[in-house]
Amino acid sequence: MAVDRLRSIIERVERLEEERKALAGDIKDIFSEAKSAGFDVKVIKQIISLRKKEPAEVEEQETLLDLYRRALGM
């Protein structure tokens, strides 16, 4: 078996997973900073999620959401 190749694969994945963990920590820190600055973190996450979508898609979904809510008396 190509053991050096196997070892290299494993070590590269482990390094990238470490970086991914560090990034997750950095993101968490930014949200802590946002909270300390008085922002609502849940709402910031909604903003980030909205910015990923096409504006036309966002508008269509919001129109439907309003329609369904009114129909249900919410």
Residues binding its own copies (CB under 8 A): 1-3, 5-7, 9-10, 12-14, 16-17, 19-20, 23-24, 26-27, 30-31, 33-34, 37, 39-40, 42-44, 46-48, 50-51, 61, 64-65, 67-69, 71-72, 74
Are 72 and 59 in contact by the 8 Å Cβ rule? The answer is: no
**How many CA atoms does the CB half-sphere of 67 hold within 13 Å?**
6
- Nearest distance, CB of residue 18 and its own copies, angstroms: 10
Name residue, tokens 């979904």: 61
How far is it, in rounded angstroms, from Cα 55 to Cα 49?
Answer: 12
Per-residue DSSP letter, 26:
H
CB of 11 to its own copies, least distance (A): 10
Shortest distance (Å) from residue 41 CB to its own copies = 10
